[in-house]
Structure 1
Amino acid sequence: MFALALRQAKVCLGGLEALAHWREPADGRLRMVASDGSVPAGAEGWAQLRADQDAAPARAVRRGGYAWVEGDPLGIGASGTAAVPFLGAEGPVGALSVLTGGAGEPDEMQRSFLRATAAWAAAHVHGVPQPSAPGPGSVVARSALMGELTAALGQAVTAQDVTQAVADRVMPPFGADGLLVQVLDEDDRLYAVGSAGYPQEFTRLMDGFPLSDYATVHDVVRTRTPRFIESKAEYERLYPSMRQVSVKSPKEAWAFLPMIASGRTIGLCTVSFSEPRPFSEEERTLLTALSGLVGQALERARLYDMEHARARELQRGLLPRALPRLPAACAAARYLPAAQGEGVGGDWYDVIPLSADRVAIVIGDVMGHGIAEAATMGRLRTAVSTLADLDMPPDELFDRLNDLVSELGDDSYATCLYAVFDPVARTCSYAVAGHPQPVVVHGDGTVDSPVVAADPPLGAAQPPFETHQLQLPDESLLVLCTDGLIESATQDVEEGRARLQQVLTDVVSSTPYFRVADEDDDVRRLEELCDTVVSALLPDARATSDDAGLLIVHTRCTAPRDVVGCDLTDDPRAAGQARQYVRARLDAWGLTDLVLTTELLVSELVGNAVRHASGPVRLRLLRSRTLICEVYDGSLNTPRIRRADSTDEGGRGLQLVAALSRRWGARYLQDGKCIWTEQQLPTGEPSGAVPGIAPHAA
């Protein structure tokens, strides 16, 4: 209790040091029992003070009231010492003193606050008999409540916490029923950060009010002096220009209190009453002391709010703003920061389109919480996106990612699950590094989770990593999460995963998540499912100590009629065979407008495979939102666009491929590579995967 009282007293008086002395009953000596900082070398003489010494603490105990002594008794550059007694049932039991650095004696507001702080501290020291209970409206009772407010504001973190502390501790003892806390912004407007006892319409009216148009507050802010108005008639007499506000206000009396922090006015705290009332000198003094205390707490809370907002903005910037809607997958996700701490952490997720309608799905968790972990998460997410674009298999991608995490330091670790869904092969290949296993919801509503051996977290693992494979039905839900969603102090990961599976079973059995009408409906249902899962597993998100991430992906396999292919001879005849196959297939698909372009593309790709690679050579066509052409060969050589001179007879093939296709690339297989291109379908042509899953019903 002493530590909090000393800290608040020192801040309010702008002091250099605050001390607490306790009176020994035997001889009346005052023994130093606490200080707000490291006690300076010159304080030995104050370790015990005689009752008759001419020191401020001894004077305060003798008088039973406030005492001021000029000078620098501890040699710390103080201008004087202000002291007030700790009062018990039999009189003073000690003293609270502050060595001030400013010129002059503390003013009445500061003295009042010092008395209130001492009263609260004495009331909370175990074993100290208290004076007989005063009436609820007495100055002593209000001083004790001000001490409670001091403690509450010391624990307040946000501006809303500060407002709530004032509403709970100040309004009842003064009989107030209205509170409005406004801050002064750089544009000289007052913005409401909290209120109590006011209708929303009035609070909105006062939010963003120009200071120049608010005569009452302008006077208070300009003079830094509280204004007490005892009736609405007095208000309109003093400020006739504010009749609009007066008429709309439901209150009849006001205490307009400037909030001052760091030597400047930061806003206004208005305590109001529904009936006209006078303000006694004691009430004015206490409310004035209140304004300084609230101003300091609010300034600290606003700094926290701004830092918290910046941290949350950083987190939002590092996570995907929107998940892509792909031919083979739609997704929805949730990120819930830990309620305790900075509100940011290292959980992340992503859905990345790959070639041939394949989809990379990733979720991860950097160990720890805070800005540094969020920045590390951003680096890993960028690395995963880059490596996924190279079409690396999961185990090889983890090899590279593990090196990156290891380079961050010995205490850097991350769990991760990376999966590649292939809608044509109907498989999901994935690797797990210390992360919770995926949960699969099948088209018939059954829910299961594969049990495989997970590799250690990235940064602690030693390659090679293992790739696992799931065989997926035509449609399924792939549910991935971080441990913050399913693990807590009262529940281990396996219990949490069982709860997750039960929630999914209950929800999916009553809702048709498959064969939905369109893509928008698909995403809407996934969003609703995310909300349901989070509500069930984290019913009180405000009490969580870990970040939680959830990613639900609706996967859709490609219909067999939308994929065709053929083997080609490993000689110059292959290009002609490819062109003939393309003409027949595109004619059957109704894509005759793309025949000429596609013939040129496959001729170039097949010709390169025959000339520069090795067999066997294979052609595959995939109809989706785009027309995808793939040429497979047995070589691992990387194709590169050359800069051909004007006199060169060749070397322009890949330039032609790049010009004719929407995008193109290469991916590498165990026994060769695949060169692929994508072409935009003609406007109005049917596609194999739009909208939603309708074409797959054939």
Structure 2
Amino acid sequence: MSVAWDDIGGLVDAHERFLAGARVDSDVRDPVLASWKRCRSAGLDPDRLYIPYEPDVALDERFTLAAGPVLDKLADSLADLGTAIALCDGQGWMVQRLGGGRNLLERLDAVSFAPGFDVSEEAAGTNGIGTALIERGLVQVVGREHFADCLQPFACVGAPVRDPFSGRIEAVLDLTCLRDQSDPVMIRLVREAARAIEARLRDQATERERALLAAYRGAGREPGPDQDGSAGLGRIDLAVLRERAEALLASPDRTLDEVTLAGGRIATLLRRTVVGATGESGAVVEARVLGGPRTVALTRPAPPPTLLAPHAVTAPAADGPGGRVVLVGEPGVGRLAVLARRRLELLHEAGVRIGATLDVTRTAEELAEVVVPRFADFAAVDLPDAVLNGEEPEPFGPDAPLRRVALRSRNDEPRLYHVGDGVSYVATTPQARSLESGRAVLEPVLSEAGGWFAQDPVRLERVLAAGTHSLITVPLRARGATLGVVSFYRCANPEPFEGDDLSLAQELGGRAAMCVDNARRFTREHNTALALQRSLLPRGRSEQRAVEVAYRYLPAQAAVGGDWFDVIPLSGARVALVVGDVVGHGLHAAATMGRLRTAVHNFCALDLPPDDVLTHLDDLVGRLDRGEGWAVENAPSESWSIGATCLFAVYDPVSRRCTLTRAGHPLPAVVAPDGSVDFVDLPSGPPLGLGGMPFETAELELAEGSQLVLYTDGLVEDRHRDIDTGLERLRAVLAHPGRAPEDTCEAVLDALLPARPGDDVALLVARTHVLGPDRVAQWDLPSDPSVVSRARAAVTGQLAAWGLDELAFTTELVASELFTNAIRYATGPVQLRLLRDRALICEVSDGSGTSPRLRRARSEDEGGRGLFLVAQLTERWGTRYTPQGKVIWTEQPLP
């Protein structure tokens, strides 16, 4: 290469900027940057390295025999290229070095890149061997990508070499040259050489199996004829025996097992050792079946089916006629097949169980439940509060605050944090390193992990003494963001975590992270919709005395809906009670609910009758359903489909009459003072938005102290209960006399709602009051100007009786003006009424349907000032229509 690629762009000073604490993400490849971070966390000094030395480093003879011919061939192909070949063991100690010119070898010796030296990443920093071990894959490091300054003159490519049967990384193969002599062909050469060594290891195992089979035959167990090769066992029984025999062969210390077969037969499995003629050692598992006609011997090879198929023959039993299936292998090598199957089962279960709910905390708990005890003895999930609240997670830095969200353990061993505790990991811990690098970290031997102890040496010493010995930490990453970290510990299981466990942990963490992120996003949308809906629902108590009100709104666990309620004071001391339900969930339903509630307030301000209010609402929903008024262009009309139900009631505390109408909504309940419960026989109108049908009303008289109960269908109906059952349960709960509305709400929710309701619920309970004769004064007067003075005198006298003399002048003037207008412009008798409620209400009713209009009179006009004067002297005024005419009303605040 004419120009070293690491001289291009920002790589020239990226290393210095990284050491100075600057961000270099865009200038350095991800594997190299992750390695730099690990080196910094380990406390390596790029200016000075201390490389340990061991004189007697060696590889297993079997591995040496497999690698020798491959390395010789590779050295011949690189003889003229000035490239050195290095072979290291699975811990990073260099065992052998081949090839390379004199100049290259002298420079490698000077930096301790030679046999016997430790070139792992923890000792030598970023390099082809040590980094390939941690990355568990092929790695290229060129020039300034090395963390240590002394290694920057070199370019190297390293690849791990795995035992094809155990899956462990047994060695690392590396090609190293001077940086300016680097060639991309080195990547292909080292990859092909590593694969060739692994292939030779597989061939050796095949030869060994043949020798073991011969040794088994030589022990007096000559193969013989067998009719079906299954020793009289059924297909399922034979599969069970083979699986248990495989597990027994894979076990490091067990030699005996017992299996219950179909028909109550018992099979005893016994592992025997066999030695071939040239010293090959292996094992055979024999099955003695009690209660059956034959004895079966099962032996199982080590490798997974994708690497080496079992060698199967049939042979007679050692102690009698019959046949057995023989699968030969060596102890322990079947371990990978067993673990592979168990890992696939675990991944399948994780896919089914993790993410079953869209709840962040529950998803973390499901991850811990899946892995303990099948994968780890102890699991902990730590997430930042932002993720729990549905917010976007912030980038993780040193000592980032987390919270212990889930914890599961098979024992009560000591632990540093409990669920709900705040967690902040120091920079050297595996958790902090995995959060910073975004990669899983394996600590197979915790007693040697100094960075882990730094979190709390005294407490963690006790954790170690309790048997905790191995750890894997996995960052929970989804869609490019880090959401937290999960830690897997082993305590009771004596086997340390290893490379394949790391891959499994990463897969589990990746699946869980996607589920956590889905739950986080749902939580954000849910909270947003809930905040919107709560902002649109009533706040505090409305100013009215007609009813004593209690209400509850409970959003669904899955999604916020469009349930709503309202208590709206009306003129004449009346009150409107409204409950509605918008079909659907989410922001769209909440926004629609807000529109409908606002519209109801506007219609109530016009003092429209209940059936007219629903008629106008029906028209509004129809227009919204057609897309009119939505600020969304080019959106399909079906995306805005709206459905809604509503129940509207108006209660008058003077007459004790309640007028109700409904649009597709459940029937309201009335609880009499004696505790009897009736569901109002109210005509059912169509849901809002369908149009074309009038809404009918029903009117009933309520005794003082009655309770009117309005609710949405989520209270009485769900997928496990029909509405009739729900109504009967509601009736039973309400049948208690003398209970306050607040107590009624609590009792109803406790009796009818599950812990996690599937639909929104709105509940409104109103206990009626009566505005008695001592607070009402009413006069029926003829339409004659001569009685105006009589009306003024009646008003003055009544206010004096009520102790409201200071309002007498204003009220007399208002009543006189309204009464005079009724005589002049209306027909029929006139009624004057005073109500002493939370305000002083003055009403004048007549038989005309024409409403007066407020206007500003010009200087030359002779009339038009009376109503303007009334509006100035009172707090509120308005007109409401009745079947007989209209009522003009005013309100004045009481002193």
TM-score of the superposition, structure 2-length normalised? Answer: 0.54
Supply the AA of the counterpart residue of 1:390.
L
Q: Hey, what does 1:464 align to over in structure 2?
A: 694
Contact 2:580 2:712 in 1 (8 A): yes
* Partner Cα distance (1:367, 1:297) in 2: 28
Give the C-alpha shift of residue 468 in structure 1: 0.9
Q: Hey, what does 1:320 align to over in structure 2?
A: 538
Supply the AA of the counterpart residue of 1:355.
S
Q: Hey, what does 1:606 align to over in structure 2?
A: 819
Unaligned runs of 5+ in 2: 1-136, 138-164, 166-186, 192-235, 252-334, 387-392, 410-414, 627-640
Contact 2:565 2:580 in 1 (8 A): yes
Give the C-alpha shift of residue 327 in structure 1: 0.4
Q: Does 1:150 align with 2:363?
A: no
Give the C-alpha shift of residue 142 in structure 1: 4.0
Deviations 1:61-98 (A, max 9, x none): xxxxxxx9xxxxxxxxxxxxxxxxxx9xxxxxxxxxxx
Q: Trace 1:436-475 onto structure 2 (pairs within 5 A).
A: 436-460=666-690, 462-475=692-705
Contact 1:159 1:301 in 2 (8 A): yes
Give the C-alpha shift of residue 618 in structure 1: 2.0
* Partner Cα distance (1:389, 1:320) in 2: 16
* Partner Cα distance (1:636, 1:216) in 2: 82
Supply the AA of the counterpart residue of 1:196.
L
Q: Could you say if the C-alpha distance between residues 458 and 276 of structure 1 is closer, same or farther in structure 2, counting changes exceeding 3 Å?
A: closer
Q: Hey, what does 1:195 align to over in structure 2?
A: 406
Q: Hey, what does 1:588 align to over in structure 2?
A: 801
Deviations 1:3-33 (A, max 9, x none): xxxxxxxxxxxxxxxxxxxxxxxxxxxxxxx
Contact 1:259 1:267 in 2 (8 A): yes
Q: Could you say if the C-alpha distance between residues 245 and 430 of structure 1 is closer, same or farther in structure 2, counting changes exceeding 3 Å?
A: farther
Q: Does 1:257 align with 2:474?
A: yes
Q: Does 1:224 align with 2:424?
A: no
Secondary structure at the aligned position of 2:756 is classed as: helix
Q: Trace 1:315-394 onto structure 2 (pairs within 5 A).
A: 315-324=533-542, 326-339=544-557, 342-394=558-610
Give the C-alpha shift of residue 178 in structure 1: 4.1
Give the C-alpha shift of residue 229 in structure 1: 5.3
* Partner Cα distance (2:458, 2:872) in 1: 68
Q: Hey, what does 1:18 align to over in structure 2?
A: none
Secondary structure at the aligned position of 1:475 is classed as: coil
Q: Hey, what does 1:32 align to over in structure 2?
A: none
Contact 1:158 1:302 in 2 (8 A): yes
- Say which is worse superposed, 385-394 or 238-247, in terms of deviation: 238-247
Q: Hey, what does 1:696 align to over in structure 2?
A: none
Instruction: Return the match for 2:394 from 140, 165, 186.
Output: 186
* Partner Cα distance (2:792, 2:597) in 1: 41
Secondary structure at the aligned position of 1:607 is classed as: helix
* Partner Cα distance (2:428, 2:578) in 1: 54
Q: Could you say if the C-alpha distance between residues 246 and 585 of structure 1 is closer, same or farther in structure 2, counting changes exceeding 3 Å?
A: farther
Give the C-alpha shift of residue 355 in structure 1: 0.7
Give the C-alpha shift of residue 248 in structure 1: 12
Supply the AA of the counterpart residue of 2:762.
G
Q: Could you say if the C-alpha distance between residues 487 and 262 of structure 1 is closer, same or farther in structure 2, counting changes exceeding 3 Å?
A: closer
Q: Percent identity?
A: 40
Supply the AA of the counterpart residue of 1:351.
V
Supply the AA of the counterpart residue of 2:766.
V
Secondary structure at the aligned position of 1:455 is classed as: coil
Q: Could you say if the C-alpha distance between residues 592 and 271 of structure 1 is closer, same or farther in structure 2, counting changes exceeding 3 Å?
A: farther
> Radius of gyration: which is bigger?
2
Q: Hey, what does 2:115 align to over in structure 1?
A: none
Contact 1:478 1:552 in 2 (8 A): yes
Q: Trace 1:87-102 onto structure 2 (pairs within 5 A).
A: none
Q: Trace 1:389-408 onto structure 2 (pairs within 5 A).
A: 389-408=605-624
Q: Could you say if the C-alpha distance between residues 259 and 458 of structure 1 is closer, same or farther in structure 2, counting changes exceeding 3 Å?
A: closer
Q: Hey, what does 2:847 align to over in structure 1?
A: 634
Give the C-alpha shift of residue 150 in structure 1: 2.8
Give the C-alpha shift of residue 195 in structure 1: 1.5
Give the C-alpha shift of residue 356 in structure 1: 1.3
Give the C-alpha shift of residue 234 in structure 1: 6.0
Give the C-alpha shift of residue 548 in structure 1: 3.5
Contact 2:363 2:516 in 1 (8 A): yes
Q: Trace 1:443-592 onto structure 2 (pairs within 5 A).
A: 443-460=673-690, 462-489=692-719, 491-505=721-735, 508-509=736-737, 512-513=738-739, 525-538=740-753, 540-542=754-756, 544=758, 546-592=759-805
Q: Could you say if the C-alpha distance between residues 679 and 243 of structure 1 is closer, same or farther in structure 2, counting changes exceeding 3 Å?
A: farther
* Partner Cα distance (2:716, 2:745) in 1: 14
Secondary structure at the aligned position of 1:542 is classed as: coil
Contact 2:573 2:653 in 1 (8 A): yes
- Say which is worse superposed, 572-581 or 348-357, in terms of deviation: 572-581
- Say which is worse superposed, 404-413 or 556-565, in terms of deviation: 404-413
Instruction: Return the match for 1:270 from 487, 494, 499.
Output: 487
Q: Hey, what does 2:501 align to over in structure 1?
A: 283
Deviations 1:572-606 (A, max 9, x none): 44443232112211111112222222223223322
Larger RCO (CA under 8 A, 6+ residues apart): 1
Secondary structure at the aligned position of 1:256 is classed as: strand
Q: Hey, what does 1:13 align to over in structure 2?
A: none
Supply the AA of the counterpart residue of 1:448.
D
Q: Could you say if the C-alpha distance between residues 413 and 228 of structure 1 is closer, same or farther in structure 2, counting changes exceeding 3 Å?
A: closer
Give the C-alpha shift of residue 368 in structure 1: 4.3
* Partner Cα distance (2:444, 2:364) in 1: 23
Secondary structure at the aligned position of 1:292 is classed as: helix
Contact 1:202 1:248 in 2 (8 A): no
Q: Could you say if the C-alpha distance between residues 375 and 563 of structure 1 is closer, same or farther in structure 2, counting changes exceeding 3 Å?
A: same
Contact 2:653 2:771 in 1 (8 A): yes
* Partner Cα distance (2:459, 2:861) in 1: 83
Q: Could you say if the C-alpha distance between residues 593 and 228 of structure 1 is closer, same or farther in structure 2, counting changes exceeding 3 Å?
A: farther
Give the C-alpha shift of residue 669 in structure 1: 1.4
Instruction: Return the match for 2:369 from 152, 168, 179.
Output: 168
* Partner Cα distance (1:212, 1:577) in 2: 89
Q: Could you say if the C-alpha distance between residues 623 and 541 of structure 1 is closer, same or farther in structure 2, counting changes exceeding 3 Å?
A: same
Supply the AA of the counterpart residue of 2:363.
V
Supply the AA of the counterpart residue of 1:132.
E
Q: Could you say if the C-alpha distance between residues 357 and 262 of structure 1 is closer, same or farther in structure 2, counting changes exceeding 3 Å?
A: same
Q: Could you say if the C-alpha distance between residues 399 and 238 of structure 1 is closer, same or farther in structure 2, counting changes exceeding 3 Å?
A: closer
Instruction: Return the match for 1:306 from 517, 524, 546.
Output: 524
* Partner Cα distance (1:247, 1:574) in 2: 100
Give the C-alpha shift of residue 413 in structure 1: 3.9
* Partner Cα distance (1:154, 1:475) in 2: 49
Contact 1:574 1:606 in 2 (8 A): no
* Partner Cα distance (2:406, 2:432) in 1: 20
- Say which is worse superposed, 441-450 or 130-139, in terms of deviation: 130-139
Q: Hey, what does 1:98 align to over in structure 2?
A: none
TM-score of the superposition, structure 1-length normalised? Answer: 0.69
Deviations 1:295-333 (A, max 9, x none): 233222222222222233333233334452520112222
* Partner Cα distance (2:372, 2:729) in 1: 45
Unaligned runs of 5+ in 1: 1-67, 69-86, 88-102, 106-125, 514-524, 683-698
Give the C-alpha shift of residue 425 in structure 1: 0.9
Q: Could you say if the C-alpha distance between residues 488 and 169 of structure 1 is closer, same or farther in structure 2, counting changes exceeding 3 Å?
A: closer
Q: Hey, what does 2:71 align to over in structure 1?
A: none
Secondary structure at the aligned position of 1:173 is classed as: coil
* Partner Cα distance (2:803, 2:238) in 1: 93
Contact 2:404 2:418 in 1 (8 A): no
Deviations 1:519-543 (A, max 9, x none): xxxxxx42332221122223x2536
Q: Could you say if the C-alpha distance between residues 271 and 656 of structure 1 is closer, same or farther in structure 2, counting changes exceeding 3 Å?
A: farther
